[in-house]
Structure 1
């Protein structure tokens, strides 16, 4: 018995074939490249990107006496708090400190030790390379060896006066940065 396909069925088939053909021609999602970074914050050869996130949050500073000179004051870094979002905007975890801690929504987390920094554009916190400590919990952070902070926007200490009268005052500034997570290849 031979059946004739309806017009709707034939149109659906054509649409499906067209969509599959379009998907086959799509380029893979871009992977982070270190090519434009200063050498000091590049991850050593033999590692691969496993996660790219966009950190969106705040950095807290406190007006304090300078070390070694109780008569001079400066804005001192207190710590960050940021959501770590995927490139699609979905929240994947958080970043906070001290100590610098990246926590995935799956329960895994790492802390790290700064290896190097490099200047960023004016008005933005420096680029940074961090060596990760072994992860706690199993998940996205398991096996991460390095974290890079790149594409920084904002986050520098306030331009407000910091003196004896303001000692102890805290100010919060907004910032954004890409955090790129690397594992051995």
Structure 2
């Protein structure tokens, strides 16, 4: 191979590597469990980083008399763009993603998948029609990926601590998709 072909091949390889390096990892569907992949025919509309907390409460275990467990009560998180500017919030129940412009969506959970020890699961949500016009208009799916933390407290939940609430910090990327 002559020097010109080697340079051309190296330039093409470098350009391709740069292109892939600029695509945020959260958009890449290939590294995600199949159950939470967004169906074909959708495109990324907005990417946010949710930084906040999840509240859990020590309650009686459903269908297990005399047993207790930590139960998810709800999330509260700021939705920031990649530069760290707040563009919305996430709260619930019901799970609600609201943009600064007032538009918001709720949704139905379609699937979850393990996201590693100490992390709440990956999640795929089918969005309901948005309320209000703005950033959430047309959102079809919401993915929760790149998760750090958020699992129920490790401390004991007992009959004596029933009713106690604990707040756990977490962070996750929320990727909003619209139909192509």
TM range (shorter): 0.7 to 0.9
What is the aligned partner in structure 2 of residue 61 from structure 1?
Answer: 56
Cα deviation, 1:129-156, whole Å, max 9, x if unaligned, reads 0000000000000000000000100000
Instruction: Give the length in aligned residue pairs.
Output: 160
> Within the alignment, does 1:102 sit opposite 2:97 as a pair?
yes
What is the aligned partner in structure 2 of residue 128 from structure 1?
Answer: 123
Match of 1:42 among 12, 37, 41: 37
Distance 1:29 1:90, change over 3 A: farther
What is the aligned partner in structure 2 of residue 159 from structure 1?
Answer: 154
Higher mean C-alpha deviation, range 136-145 or range 65-74:
65-74
What is the aligned partner in structure 1 of residue 174 from structure 2?
Answer: 179
- CA–CA distance in 1 between the matches of 2:167 and 2:65? 23
Larger Rg: 1
| TM-score (normalizing by structure 1) | 0.84
- Per the TM alignment, residue 55 of structure 1 is displaced from its structure 2 partner at its CA by 0.2
Cα deviation, 1:24-73, whole Å, max 9, x if unaligned, reads xx969525111100000000000000000000000000000001123000
List gaps (5 residues or longer) in structure 2.
1-17
> Within the alignment, does 1:85 sit opposite 2:80 as a pair?
yes
Matches within 5 A, 1:104-119: 104-119=99-114
- CA–CA distance in 1 between the matches of 2:163 and 2:147? 27
List gaps (5 residues or longer) in structure 1.
1-25
> Within the alignment, does 1:71 sit opposite 2:62 as a pair?
no
| TM-score (normalizing by structure 2) | 0.86
What is the aligned partner in structure 1 of residue 3 from structure 2?
Answer: none
Q: SS in structure 1 opposite 2:65?
A: strand
**Structure 1 runs of 4+ with >4 Å offset:** 26-29
